[in-house]
């Protein structure tokens, strides 16, 4: 297949974006390239998962006490490795690690960014061949450059993100990332090992046809959420309902689909999990940043996800995220039920 020279690669695109900022140092472009490289390696292993005896528990549990699969560990090591050996990142926080890791060498201490990631989200789906993904988030340090990063660099509100993105290992492998300039998606061309700009300037449709929620938890959701979900299943003149229910149980795939086609994703609090399941720093914040840059909305049911000031690395939050109109509809139901 001849290469189409009009299609930009990820590296070409990030370098072109830098041209808009004459003072840019190229560190962010470098960091995205590093993450893209780690994701290519993760992609190879994810694709091989059915062939190689890499599946199964590795015998340990993560900080949330959940089962850790070997591929999670592999993905975590790849991301940590490229970022440590790069020149753009002073340290990382990962869903798979108890605490932050500060690289603390001469070059890393001068780097102005830190990175948070969920190396392999939806990993309980690995052994049944369902799409999974990597989620990442980049912040500018608030600590003094030249010294090791500090915990405060990692506990910033989501509205301080410089970039956020995800990689979905699906029927094709796609890397989507957002900066304040917008959201762009790149599909991995396996034949040349490059990400090609396939989805420029992604905008989340204002309204979609899909709602994504774990219906099994319906009876333990709060009243407003129950009423909204019930309304999603009914014919409605204003929203064109009934909506279609789609829930893969792999957040990257569910939110990716809703971002492209329009839709709403809900992971509410439940009576036994008042803070929901998803992690603010590794899952909610990056997706909230991406979806909002694409024109959608994301809340915890009370405030914008991006305005929450985190107090703990692994804290959880309810998450409602998606198309603007659908989010507003949900907010109406939630408000009315509280009156």
Alpha helices in the chain (DSSP H): 10-18, 27-48, 70-85, 106-110, 151-154, 223-232, 251-261, 285-293, 324-338
CA distance 117 to 203: 24
Name the one residue in this structure whose structure tokens are 């003094």: 144
Nearer to Mg ion, 206 or 315 (CB): 315
Shortest Cβ 180–ligand AHM spacing (Å): 26
315 is an interface residue for ligand AHM by CB under 6 A:
no
Among 27, 34, 96, 121, binds ligand AHM (CB under 6 A): 121
Site track for Mg ion across 86-125, x = CB under 5 A:
--------------------------------x--x----
Nearer to ligand AHM, 206 or 214 (CB): 214
122 is an interface residue for ligand AHM by CB under 6 A:
yes
Listed in sequence order, the residues at least 6 apart from 118 whose beta carbon sits closer than 8 Å to its beta carbon are 94, 95, 134, 135, 136, 279, 282, 283
Among 209, 277, 293, 324, binds ligand AHM (CB under 6 A): 277
27 is an interface residue for Mg ion by CB under 5 A:
no
Q: Which of positions 240-259 make contact with ligand AHM (CB under 6 A)?
A: 249-251
Instruction: Tell me the C-alpha to C-alpha distance, in Å, between residue 131 and each of 27, 42, 51.
Output: 30, 13, 16
Site track for ligand AHM across 64-83, x = CB under 6 A:
--x-----------------
Q: Give which of Mg ion, ligand AHM, none residue 277 binds (C-beta under 5 to 8 Å, depending on kind).
A: ligand AHM
Alpha helices in 49-131 (DSSP H): 70-85, 106-110
* Binding-site ranges for ligand AHM (CB under 6 A): 66, 118, 121-124, 214, 249-251, 277
């Amino acid at each position: 297949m001849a290469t189409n020279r009009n299609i930009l690669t990820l590296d070409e695109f990030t370098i072109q974006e830098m041209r808009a900022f004459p003072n840019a140092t190229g560190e962010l472009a470098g960091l995205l390239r590093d993450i893209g490289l780690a994701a290519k390696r993760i992609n190879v292993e994810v694709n091989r998962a059915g062939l190689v005896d890499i599946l199964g528990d590795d015998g340990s549990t993560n900080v949330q006490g959940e089962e850790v699969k070997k591929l999670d560990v592999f993905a975590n090591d790849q991301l940590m490795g490229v970022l440590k050996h790069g020149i753009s990142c002073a340290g990382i926080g990962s869903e798979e690690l108890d605490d932050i890791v500060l690289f603390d060498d001469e070059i890393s201490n001068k780097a102005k960014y830190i990175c948070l990631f969920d190396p392999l989200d939806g990993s309980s789906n690995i052994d049944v061949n369902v799409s999974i993904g990597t989620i990442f988030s980049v912040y500018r340090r608030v600590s003094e450059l030249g010294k090791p990063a500090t915990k405060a660099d990692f506990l910033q509100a989501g509205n301080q993100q410089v970039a956020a993105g995800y990689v979905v290992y699906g029927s094709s492998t796609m890397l989507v990332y957002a900066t304040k300039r917008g959201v762009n998606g790149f599909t991995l061309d396996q034949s040349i090992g490059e990400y090609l700009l396939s989805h420029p300037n992604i905008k989340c449709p204002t309204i979609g046809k899909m709602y994504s929620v774990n219906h099994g938890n319906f009876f333990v959701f709060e009243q407003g959420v129950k009423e909204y979900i019930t309304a999603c299943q009914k014919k409605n003149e204003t929203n064109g309902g009934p909506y279609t229910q789609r829930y893969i149980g792999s957040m990257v795939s569910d939110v990716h689909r809703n971002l492209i086609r329009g839709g709403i994703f809900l992971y509410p609090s439940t009576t036994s999990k008042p803070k929901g399941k998803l992690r603010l720093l590794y899952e909610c914040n990056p997706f909230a940043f991406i979806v909002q840059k694409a024109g959608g909305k994301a809340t915890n049911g009370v405030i914008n996800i991006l305005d929450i000031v985190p107090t703990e690395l692994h804290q959880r939050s309810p998450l409602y995220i998606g198309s603007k109109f659908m989010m507003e509809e949900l907010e109406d139901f939630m408000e009315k039920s509280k009156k």
